[in-house]
Every structure is written in C-alpha cells, then in structure tokens.
Chain A
C-alpha cells in the first residue's frame, strides 16, 4: 500500500472509538469492583482499591483519547481483508482441534492451509514442507525434549 492511500484512509474515528471502548471498560471494571469485599485491616486499602484506581485512570485517559484523537489507519487494506480474516479464523480452528485431532494432524493441516494463504502455489512443496515440519517438531518436542503433546486421532499409533 502506498503512503497516499494510507493518508486517505486514515481518520480520527479509530482513536475516538478506542477512547469510548476504554471508558466502557473502565466503567465495567468499576462496576465489578463495587461487589469486592472491604479490607480486613484498617490501614490496608483493600482488594477493590487498585481496580478503582485503574478504572478512574482509564476513564480519564479514554476521555483524553477521544478529545485529542489523531488520524491513523486501523482497518486492513481492502485486498488483504479476506486473507487476514482467514488466517485468524484458521488459527482459532487449529487451537480448537489441537487436542482432538492431535498435534501432528492438526499442525499438518494448519500449515498446509496457512502456507497456501501466504501465497505459495506449488502444492507438492506445501504438502512436503508441512509434513516435514510437523514431524520434526513432534520428534523434537515429544521424543527428545519429553514435552507432552496430544496424539489425538493417532493415539496408540505413535
């Protein structure tokens, strides 16, 4: 993306939205702190003191951010939106199936998809590298370093 388009896309809206989100967060924290018990000793400021302090400071800073918003570009460039959404979704799915499918299968599938998403088109290469990398990591961690990795579907086979 060139500097020109970045300038065009940038606006103060993002900072203002973040400012409001931070104020809301501060309010939520303060609301939660209301139900915290009082301190057991007189001189102890208690378990709610720090949450209150954070809430007040965050609310103030959020307000400053709204007031002094500066232009910046937060949304990803149009042509990259599908890619970025896909990799985030893909990674979440990877984490979800990590234990059920097992490290080897999940990682192999994830790498296949992610490397292709990165723009690699040579299919045989993608499959080969994904397989080699997952197997190497498994051997290194599970066998050599004795770190427990879920075997999932391959339970009893490896």
Chain B
C-alpha cells in the first residue's frame, strides 16, 4: 500500500497534472491527424522530456499515447480513415453509424469505451506488473533470449499478408543493431573504423526517421486534405445504453490488455480480436455487426486502449517493448540513466507507481475532455493546416535527434532512416518489425550466447520457462503461416468485402486484413 502513496504523491504535483493535460490534448489532435500515429506523436515530442524529471516526461508522453490511440478513431468513425492503425477495427461499425446520422453517438461510444478500456487496462497493469517484475528478477539469459525471439516472431507474424516483407524488415533491424561493439567479445562489427559507429546506432533517430520524417515526405507527395463533418442528431446517454455497452466494453478491455501484454503486439491487433470475440458472443443478433452496432465499436475501442496499458507490462518489467510506441517510452526512461526492467521496480518505486497512477489520471482526463469535446475536436483537427504541419514535423524531428547527444551524427542517421522508411512504405514493407528487431536483436544475441557460455550446450532450452516461451513462439509461427496461406488462397479466389464473414476468431490478431486495408484507405486518399 505504501507504494501507492509514493506514486500518488509523485503525481499530486500541479506541473505533472498540467503535463498530463497537455499530453492528452496534444494526443487527441495528433492521433486524429492522418499520418501522425501515436508512435510519431510520442517520438517527435520525446526531446521535450529530456530536460524534465523522468516522471514528468513520462506523463507527457503517456498522455499523448493514450490520447492519440483514442483519437485515431475520430476520423475512422467520421470519414473511414483511421488516424492510427489501432483504430482500423472501428471503421466498419463506427462509420456505418455516421452514415446513419449517429456520428455523435458513435463518438460518445468511442470515448467512453476507450477510456474504460484504458482504466481497466491500467488497473491490471498496476496489479500485474509488480508481480511479474518480482518474478522476472529470476530470469536468466535463456529466458531473455526466448522472450526476444517470441516478440520478434510475433511482430513479423502480425504483418498480415506481408509476412515475407515483415521478416525482411525485422532482420534488417537486427542487422542494423549489429553495428558497434559486440557486447560479449568487444569486437567492433561493421563499423568501418568509424568511432561514431563503434558505439552503435541509437534506435530513437532511426525510429523518428522511419515513422515521422518518411511520412512527412509522403505527405509532400500527396498533399492530403482531411475533411470531417459530424452532422446528424444529438445524442444523450441513458442507463439502458450504458447497460448495452457494458459487456462488450469489458470483454474488449480484457482481450485488449491480454494481447497487449504479448511483446510486440500493442493495441493494433487486440482491437480486431476483441471485435471478433464480441461478434462471436453476440450469438443471435450478430448480423448487425459491421453495419453500425455500438457493441462492436465498443469492443474495438475499449480493446485498443486497454492494449496501451498491456504494452507497458513487458516494457516496464522486462525492458522488452510491448509495441513500437512503448519502445520510445523506453528511450524516454533510459535517457535519464534508468533502465526499465525488474530493477526499476526496486530502485525507483516513485517512478513506477507514479506511472501507474498517472496513466490512470490520463484516462480520466481523456474521458472528461473527450466526452465534453465530442463536437469540438473534429472542427479543430480539420483546421490544422497540413501545409505548415509537415514542415514543422521535419524540423521537430531534426531538432529532436540533434538534442539526443548534441550531435549531427544522429541527424544523419535519422535522414538515412527517413529515406529507407519512405522506400519501405512505398514498397509495402512494414516498419514496426525493423524497430522491434533493432531493439530485440541485441537482447536475443546476448541472451543466447550467455546461456551457451553458462550451460556449455543447448540444455537450457529444456528449462520450464524457456520451453514455454519456445512453445508460444512456435505456436505464433504456425498460426501466422496458416493465416498467410489462407489469405493467399482467398485472394486467389476472389476479392471479398472486408469484415463480412470471418468465422475463425482463434488466430490471435491475425484477423487483420482490414488493418492493412485501413492503411490502404488512409493512403489512397
């Protein structure tokens, strides 16, 4: 109990609360803008946190994270263009409601379910993380190797319909991470004698280049203009309405959290799984799903935000990012000389518990702002002029990379990554595996080699924990391959309408044809 008081004390500071408020506001705006996902928002605002206390910085970033993941659904509901990938599952039902003149109701469902999902997720996070962190103290190199391997497979496996390209992207990430001193033998790999390369390539500039600047370049090519109109009847919530939403929102929150905990997944996939689960459990009247059912919307919405909290579980307890956005959060913690992992829970209880309580406050603030501002946000977001926005994004990216170490080298890395990201997006290579590969490659290699040195042979594979993780890795590969084969068969037969009939809900997260498709919707406009 004492720990919670420490956390509460850390949060009960006017500046921290102000930062949460700013974060949520910024998050809502950037999340709703097409092209700026939660990842980009958090990455380009990371430099603002360098001069802050770790907790203050985390609160700003978590506010952006929660707000952006929620707000991605605003354009998804209004114009079928998800602002962030996690909102792709909300497109069908949300936009159907809009077309029926129920935009206001859909937006209220979205904010209520997102906040509820976030709140439930954070409560689970706060209960589970300390236990897991304690447990993780006993993790040896073998467990870390297997965890990293699992996350790498999952992230490549969820690149729906583009598994080959996902794997290539992940391997390139692992390859980039080779550059620099090998942690065990101290041998400089692929440095070409350059002292800058010997210390390795930081993943933050790579991430900013890949996600933010590459997207900015694309926007110069497209000159996208967002038009959102929220016409239709006013909506007032009633008790019966809440009662109707409750089961699917709770279901969505559970599913979203659990899937979010799996390293490498985050909220993007959970929302599809939750949507399908809600549809499956609706039994007799599932026909309305996809045609404007508020239960389907609530499941997808609650799940994506519960996933943000779930993603923090491996991030904080193991230092293994739950998704790409939480990888930036790791950067925000390590920049202050702290290391996410079991020791963080012992060494900085104020930070850890402050994060739990602060993230809860984020979702309370989001509920308040989102509910009151349902009608306000879309006109505001519509007015953000892309003409000024994207040049500003590039400037912030350059500034951010420079300020990491006051060195133009990181800016150069960022620019190379931006060029690479631009080509990768155009050629259909998913970006997330590259970053996850870059972070996890070294963890996997070091874990494997240390385990081999300690044990002398491969016998560590048979220990309980590594074995369980290995089984999960194999299962995710099998499911992904099955899904991939089925996708190929389906696309070979004919192009079917999205989300019409999807009987198989067992393959976790691999129900994501529409995720890639949501991306297409965004890109083709």
A14 within 8 A of B: yes
Q: Is A47 touching B189 in the complex (CB atoms < 8 A)?
A: yes
CB 8 Å contact bits of B172-196 with A (1 = contact, 0 = none): 1011001000101101011000000
* Interface of A toward B, CB cutoff 8 Å: 3, 6, 14-15, 18, 22, 25, 29, 32, 36-37, 39-47, 49-51, 54, 57-58, 61-62, 64-65, 68, 70, 72-74, 76-77, 80, 83-84, 87-88, 91-92, 94-95, 98-99, 103, 107, 110-111, 114-115, 117-120, 129, 133-134, 137, 140-141, 145-149
Q: Is B185 touching A39 in the complex (CB atoms < 8 A)?
A: yes
B368 within 8 A of A: no
Residue of A40, A91, A94, A129 most packed against chain B (CB within 10 A): A91
Nearest 9 A-B pairs (CB), nearest first? A114-B391, A145-B51, A80-B221, A118-B387, A47-B182, A87-B220, A74-B426, A147-B403, A43-B456
Q: Which of A29, A46, A72, A111 contacts B395 (CB 8 A)?
A: A111
With A80-B221, A129-B388 as contacts: A45 and B395 at CB distance below 8 Å: no
With A95-B412, A118-B223, A133-B392 as contacts: A29 and B427 at CB distance below 8 Å: no
Q: Which of A43, A61, A98 contacts B164 (CB 8 A)?
A: A61
Chain A residue at minimum C-beta to C-beta distance from B52: A145
- Which residues of chain B are near A64, meaning CB under 8 Å? 164
Residue of A6, A22, A84 most packed against chain B (CB within 10 A): A84
CB 8 Å contact bits of B380-412 with A (1 = contact, 0 = none): 000000111011101110110011001010011
Q: Is A54 touching B171 in the complex (CB atoms < 8 A)?
A: yes
- Which residues of chain A are near B51, meaning CB under 8 Å? 145-147
Minimum Cβ distance to chain A for residue B201 (Å): 15
Residue of A25, A32, A51 most packed against chain B (CB within 10 A): A51
Chain B residue at minimum C-beta to C-beta distance from A37: B187
- Which residues of chain A are near B216, meaning CB under 8 Å? 87
Cα A111 to Cα B412 in complex, Å, equals 19
B455 within 8 A of A: yes
Cα A103 to Cα B396 in complex, Å, equals 11
- Which residues of chain B are near A72, meaning CB under 8 Å? 426-428
Minimum Cβ distance to chain A for residue B413 (Å): 11
Q: Is A149 touching B402 in the complex (CB atoms < 8 A)?
A: yes
Q: Which of A43, A145, A149 contacts B453 (CB 8 A)?
A: A43
- Which residues of chain B are near A57, meaning CB under 8 Å? 167, 171
With A37-B185, A88-B419 as contacts: A115 and B398 at CB distance below 8 Å: no
Q: Is A83 touching B221 in the complex (CB atoms < 8 A)?
A: yes
Minimum Cβ distance to chain B for residue A103 (Å): 7
Q: Is A137 touching B398 in the complex (CB atoms < 8 A)?
A: no
- Which residues of chain A are near B238, meaning CB under 8 Å? none
From 195 to 244 in chain B, residues with beta carbon under 8 angstroms from any chain A beta carbon are 213, 216-217, 220-223
- Which residues of chain B are near A146, meaning CB under 8 Å? 51
Minimum Cβ distance to chain A for residue B44 (Å): 12
B121 within 8 A of A: no
Q: Is B403 touching A149 in the complex (CB atoms < 8 A)?
A: yes
With A32-B190, A98-B398, A137-B399 as contacts: A44 and B453 at CB distance below 8 Å: yes
B134 within 8 A of A: no
Q: Which of B47, B189, B387, B428 contacts A51 (CB 8 A)?
A: B189
CB 8 Å contact bits of B431-465 with A (1 = contact, 0 = none): 00000000001000100110011011100000000
With A87-B220, A88-B419, A141-B47 as contacts: A15 and B185 at CB distance below 8 Å: no
